Amino acid sequence: MSLAALPAYSHVILSRFARCPTFISLELNDVATFNSLTPDMFQCMARALQWCAKEKTVHAVVFSGRGRGADKSKHVFCSGMGMSKETAENAFANPKGVSLREVRARVVKGPLDFIDTIIDFPKLLVAACNGHAFGMAVTMLPLFDFVYALPGLTFRTPFSELGVCAEGCSSATFPAILGPGLASKMLYYAEPQTSEKLLPSGFISEIVPDKDSTTLPEWVLNHLCDRLGVDDVNITGASTGLPTSGPRAASASAAGSGAPSQLPNPLDWRNLSLQSILYSKSLVMHKDRRRFLHEVNAKEMEAVAGMVASPEFAVGIGRFMAKQAAKKAKL
């Protein structure tokens, strides 16, 4: 079986990792908005994951975000839902012939579909948190199989500041993983936490020192190869012919010039069985558990839709924008 060409999306970049082309790098790429979760971004992420889930030439996906600016310590993995004055105005808009219920449904459709896609994702899904994370970029992480992070990152869920509520299944996953105390601090008080604070609970799998926002995704991909026992070369009986300098080395739209024409065989991997890992994941994320998480996701999004229709949401957006303006004025 030959490697399939990769689809292209407006705000998401897919590429095959040269050392093992069945490992996919998925990069959020809307640096102008710090990779904010706009309707377009939600659609791109969901479609990309849905394609990877069905495609036989994909075994694992590593999620990361492209950064903005020269100071890599300030790079943002994802800034969460795009919030602006227009967001509040659109939430209260009532186009002629369209019910308020339909308008609210549009607000939550993107995050609802995206989280449902993660819940059902059958392959290895790994987060390389190569920058600060906010909102749903934090709440989605317990649904990943592994979460690797740089030291000193900020993880924050500012729902109570914005006048919305828990999302991304965090009303269920946060208390279970973090315990009620820390979960309450994050969900109710919107207190920021660091990579180090979230490590002991297992919320973060591992903190990776001596890397930065550009080198962490490659490290994670190589780490997967090392743990599974993927050889550096000759994975299909011949060199890949692709550079191995990073996750962007392989083609973003196709198998790439010089790429191996045959699918790497997991039976050749020296350390771990991919079939065993995926079967174990299917047992962990069994049908009843997935049904429960889908129900939690739907209830949370229904609550978010109701809160978006409330005056407190408009007040929260105004408060949020005022704080952002104050921060920019200090720069």
Mean local confidence (pLDDT), 180-192: 98
Q: What is the pLDDT of residue 97?
A: 55
H-helix or E-strand spanning residue 16 = strand 12-17
Of residues 246 and 74, more confidence is placed in 74
- State if pTM tops 0.75: yes
Closest by CA position to 172, among listed 19, 267, 323, 295? 295
Query: 51 is written with which tokens?
Result: 């394609």
Confidence tier at 232 by pLDDT (50, 70, 90): low
Mean local confidence (pLDDT), 225-250: 57
* Cα–Cα dist 159/187, whole Å: 7
* Average pLDDT over the chain, rounded to an integer: 87
Q: What is the pLDDT of residue 308?
A: 82
Of residues 253 and 32, more confidence is placed in 32
Mean local confidence (pLDDT), 22-43: 96
Could you give the 3-state DSSP secondary structure of residue 24?
A: strand
Confidence tier at 256 by pLDDT (50, 70, 90): very low
Of residues 142 and 324, more confidence is placed in 142
Query: 144 is written with which tokens?
Result: 């990943």
Mean local confidence (pLDDT), 96-120: 81
Buried b (16+ CB within 10 A) or exposed e, 192-201: bbbbebbbee
Q: Pick the range with the lowest mean pLDDT from 98-107, 245-254, 265-274.
A: 245-254
Q: Pick the range with the lowest mean pLDDT from 82-96, 173-187, 200-214.
A: 82-96
Query: 171 is written with which tokens?
Result: 């009303």
Above 80 in pLDDT, residue 237?
no
Percent of the chain surpassing pLDDT 70:
82
Query: 262 is written with which tokens?
Result: 């045959």
Which pLDDT tens digit goes with each residue over 273-314?
999 999 999 999 999 999 999 999 999 999 998 888 788 888
Confidence tier at 103 by pLDDT (50, 70, 90): low
Above 80 in pLDDT, residue 144?
yes
* Cα–Cα dist 78/65, whole Å: 7
CATH, domain range 12-330: 3.90.226.10
Domain ranges of the chain: 12-330
